[in-house]
Structure 1
Amino acid sequence: MHKLLIHITFLLFVTTIYGQIGIRHNQMLEKIWSDSLGNIVIQDQKNDLYQLKDQALIKINKPNQIVSSANNLSHDGIITLDNQFHKIEYGSLKELMKFENKELIKLTNKGALIYDNSKLKYITNEGNNHCEITVNDRIIDAIISPSPLAVSSDTLYFVCNNERQALPFVPNGLIQFQNNDILFSSLNQSLWILTSNNQVRRFYIPGINFPKGVIKMLMTNEYLWLLSTDKTLFNFNTNNQILKRVAVGVTDFAFDKWQKLWYITDNRIESNIDFINDELPLIQIQEIRCNNELISEAKLKTLNINDELQIVLKKNFTPKKDIRFEYLLEGQKSWVAFDNPLLLKNLQEGRNKVLIRGSGNDVYFTKPLAISYGVKTPISKSLWFYLFSGMALLSFILIFSQIRINRRNKISEIEKKALKLELQLLKTEQKFGQLQLNPHFIFNTMNSINGLIAIDKKSIARLAIGKFSRIMRQVLNFSFDDRISIAEELGFLETYLELEKLIRQDKFDYSIENNLEKGDIPPMMIQPFVENAILHGIQHKNGKGQLKIIFADAGRYIKVIVEDDGIGRQAAEKYRSESHVSNAVNIIKERIILSDKWKEKKPIEYVDLFENDQATGTQCILHIPK
């Protein structure tokens, strides 16, 4: 069995001069058609059909029982053979519809005229019998627009009016002319016209000698095209009323979608682009590939970020070979030129859309084709990746801190003969280092984040993990320093308060006031008091709380005030079930006392705030030696 597509081995030459091509066939050619998609189909004297593609003739395989010539080629590649509709697909004919005991007279995108048992019937595209008329002899030609008309050797039939009119000549074709007039051709009596008042007369233009015998007529814009019986192709410009000879030796001719002229002379196909219009190219999506493999529509929605998407376009534009293609990705502002096929790399995660358009003149572009595709979020950017990474980071910090604590314990053993004050201070720093990475604080925060995930607040949880990881990095950095700057302490408190506010779902507002130009303090001395204010003061308050932190200069001391408008210390006692914050306060108090050379201020003071004998909060005042 022959292949579906048989390239013509007997193609002798193809020439291209200013858009005009010549293709020679080994058989005499008889007919040529073009449809609304720009497909060019020819038929040779052996009734074989060929489609013109890329300046080569490709044979169209047809069933063996089809031996007669084609009647016409209509819209979208539908051809009529032996009163049966076929569609040209991939070099073969696909059977669409068959008219049993009927003859198809005319087919357009509006409907069809069919001869059935001495009746001429007009059938619309919806399949309804619109109208019919009885005819007495063979129909030679017909038109459907503006209204169905048909001619026999001596009669004009008005199909939908059920009327007929005798003709004073023998017609061989008719077309719609200007102002809805109907123009008739004759093999020996030139041209005739049916005017709007249904009067038939000779078509006469002073000074114009139309050919006496006309085989075929076509109308394109302002041009009337005539193929004479001596095989000369003329065009008549109806605007300036000039008749010109275009070609000789012509057997048949046709115009494609862009009004490019195609005609056959013996065994050659010729073309001419002198009369083309401004129609845009036809572009379609031929196939879509991912990593060089064809993919389905479902796969197109689940691409990976490293995939390469290839979009192959099917184009048709006969006036010129090259088409300018451009694409626009969703979110971009400028169109980007590309060569077919389009290759997309470095895909962006999420839902995406690409628009594709084409132009034959770099001025006007086709309506964009839209292709939507989805790219899965990489595991490295998923919520669980952040959660597991955070847990791994915290575990590393705990292990590293424990190693560091063990190292300090060994140093303490070696230096145990040092002064008692230095030993006590070192032990306090060890306890404070343990407090910085206390598992209670870590796991309490992680439980709050897990709670956010459980109630499907994943975006908040993602932010909380990020802030918590930042706090852990700061704690690790501070653990190497005896003192840090006020700016560093302020930055740490700001991050910590943002985290607390986030996981407690905006339970409180806060403000930090710094009245110091410079200075430094031991790390992590303020956080336990801030935590105490949130957990035991604001947490159990009805409504939104307010937390205020003030840094001020107090001579030889740095004065820090942590003030909340919570329920007060007395009411908070019944909620206390953990000793973490109290232990931290005692350690900090001991450290302040040991490092205070002047003993002028109390290290920690508490002030209970009241209004109308009602507790309105607590103020904690720290005096940290400079």
Structure 2
Amino acid sequence: MLKLQNGEFIGGINSPLIFNKNLELVSNKTSKNIITQIFCLSQDNFETIWIGTLTGLYKIKDYNYEDVSKITDRGLLLNTRINHIVIFDDQGAFLATHGNGLLFNSIDQNHTHNLTTQDGLSSDLINRIYLENDSTLWLATNNGLDKLTFEITDSEIKAKEIQSITTADGLHSNYIYDVIKWRDEIWVATQSGVNYFKPEDVTVPDYTPPIYFDSIRASGKNILSESMINLDHDENDLNFHYTGVSYRKPTNKEFYKYALIKDKQDTSWVYTNDRSIQFTNLERGNYHFIVMARNKYNKWSEKPAEFGFTVLPSFFQTLWFKLIVGFSLLLTFLTVYRSRIKRLERKEEFRREIDEAEFRVKKAELNALRNQMNPHFIYNSLNSIQNFIFHNRPERANFFLSKFSRLMRTSLDMSKLNLVEIGEEIRFLEDYLALEELRFENKFESTISVSEDIDQEMQIPPLMIQPLLENAIKHGFKNLKKGGLLDLNISIKDNTLSIIIQDNGSGIPATAEGNDRIENRKSFSTNIIKDRLKVINSTLKFPVADLKINHKKTKFNKGTYVELVLPLNK
């Protein structure tokens, strides 16, 4: 039963019962949240009532006995039997648990931390707690009495020193029911009687257990005599056998702890009672093995047993091997790369030879086609001269012949070239049209217009426009006595050179519409132009050269519309 700060008393077995100052039952109407056995009660300075039960920790605030709530934590440390509660100032409460060691729960119940046998306690089953001062606790366990020197930091309990007292020190039994301090002496209720002693009589000896290696074997070979040794890659199975000497060994904690540190990396301690440890298939690297022993007072060996060794890499793991492999791979890559480059170069050279051969063939074809233009032009011109002679007009024939000879020389010069300047081609066409107007005695008139954005030095294939003009004169004006009109327009359209020839002649017969007039009349010159355009297109990435001859509405509302499209050559 616990006397509360308001003068009332609280007690009970399965649920809290409230009594007045005269110990008369006041109320048993508490919450039904507690349906298990109650082991301990306590109240802090904030008048919160702490209740330790078989299944955990509960609380009552502001004397609201009907509102009993369970305290929980993330680690489920509180989900165990609470044997005893000791309030620690205004910071929290120490809890003696049945399996989770010593717990500290903050006053706001938001933080829970514990100490166990891993931290040096004699047991995780604690029956009672006695708080001697703000840094010392006595813990009654089922495996002896512990004196704990502690500190609280950030709601966590930290053990500074733990002293264990057992039957080896004179206790009647290691099972301790309770512990208190009375008349400056510690009184201990054990399973076999009561012991008492002065706290200052409990001292921890400076003695720590010595430890040494009995043997160290690498793949069956004893290497203990060496303090630092290099092992081959196939000697990577090691066995350490060691002995620690202590006349007061811990009864409920591991006697040894060891660590194998590789390449100075951080590692954790491993606790054991075994006197030997085996490591197999260790990877290459530098290792340091450390082992220590402790006494019952949790004092570890002042000088641990240590052994350093190195597992050497295999030849395939050495830097030299990696460099050789890397160099070999690089050399292979360079050889393959150079071989591929040479193969591509030979392929490119072969392709270039083919292109050059094709170019020479196409050039020869163009020369042949241009050479076919010359006799055709000569044939038509000689017919005109012959016509003057037959009509007994020698003056006209002589004048025409002199003009023709100059035109012929120009034509011969052009036939030797792949390209000529457009200005030179236009002057040639002007001379030709002047002769034709003279030959046909003003039967027609001609005009030539050139767009201002055309550079006079722009180059075009020679002798391709004249045959088209000749066809318009010969066939378009065949049935005209006079009044014929012939228009030549040169401009840039859609990044190509557009040459348009229009006349007001008879046009294409209706039965041949859609086909060019010259094909119907089996014009030799037009076929040559088309062949030349095919050769020109074969040299272009995007063929644009074309010849369009059709019957459509011209600027004269009748006649024939012809368009020659050539690539731009600046």
TM range (shorter): 0.3 to 0.5
User: Greater CA radius of gyration, 1 or 2?
Assistant: 2
More strand by percentage:
1
Answer 1 or 2: higher relative contact order, Cα 8 Å, separation at least 6.
Answer: 1
Under a length normalisation based on structure 2, what TM-score does the superposition of the two structures give?
Answer: 0.34
